[in-house]
Amino acid sequence: MLDLRWPIGLMFSLIGALLVLYGAATNSNREMYANSLGININLNWGIVLLIFGVLMILGAVMGKKER
């Protein structure tokens, strides 16, 4: 049976990794982040999504070991 934590974790990890890469690549562009008070929102939310995705994958791996 498919554990839903796998596809959810993979999706959030992929989107988070893409946002982290984009945020890191555009970190020096001050004009781009002027509307968000100079906060690199892409990098911050990418890190949050990546952490959540990794936690979901770890939960799926740990759940499989208990069975």
User: Tens digit of pLDDT for each residue in 10-62?
Assistant: 999 999 999 999 999 999 888 888 888 889 999 999 999 999 999 999 999 99
pLDDT of 29: 85
pLDDT of 3: 86
Q: Which residue type sits at 54?
A: V
Instruction: Report yes or no: 12 and 49 within 8 Å, Cβ to Cβ.
Output: yes
Instruction: Report yes or no: 5 and 58 within 8 Å, Cβ to Cβ.
Output: no
- Token output for 35: 């509307």
Indicate whether 66 pLDDT > 70. no
36/17 Cα distance (integer angstroms): 21
Instruction: Report yes or no: 63 and 5 within 8 Å, Cβ to Cβ.
Output: yes
